[in-house]
Amino acid sequence: MAYNEITAVSMKYLTIVAIIATLSVAVVMGAEEKYTTKFDDVDVDEVLKSERLFKNYYNCLIDEGKCTPDARELKKSLPDALQTECSKCSEKQKKTSEKVIKHLMDHKPEEWKVLQAKYDPDGIYYSKYKARDLKN
């Protein structure tokens, strides 16, 4: 094989390796674009029914109590989830979020106001939620 042929073959392999590496990075980055589903099996209905459980989550979110691992993850993800309209949420997380928001608005209005003041002081995300809710 001539030097030019070897160089051409080497360039082809190098190009293929570069493409594979780029695709691998894209797949890994795409996987990181979602929130963890590790806590998706938390019984949200039970949390909403139990004043004790609800208060634990609530106090964590407003920086007045200790956080369980799942509450800590929620607290960490909440600002981004609000800002991106839950674009990184799984379908289950989206449905659960809507259930919790509706429950808070209907049954815990004082707590809802405190959470709104902390996480949505300008009412931007609430307006988007209400507009979307009215369409459904």
pTM of the model as a whole: 0.71
Residues 77 and 20 in one domain: no
Residue range 37-67, pLDDT digits in tens: 888 999 999 999 999 999 999 999 999 999 9
Residues 20 and 53 in one domain: no
Residues 63 and 95 in one domain: yes
Number of domains the chain is built from: 2
Residues 91 and 51 in one domain: yes
Whether 39 is in a domain gets the answer: no
Which structural domain, as residue segments, surrounds residue 63? 44-135
Residues 109 and 51 in one domain: yes
Residue range 65-107, pLDDT digits in tens: 999 999 999 999 999 999 998 999 999 999 999 899 899 999 9
Residues 9 and 29 in one domain: yes
Burial 92-126 (b: 16+ CB within 10 A, else e): ebeebbeebbebbbeebeeebeebbeebbeeeebb
Residues 58 and 123 in one domain: yes
Residues 49 and 29 in one domain: no
Q: What confidence score (pLDDT) does residue 3 get?
A: 53
CATH of residue 89's domain is 1.10.2080.10
Residues 27 and 69 in one domain: no
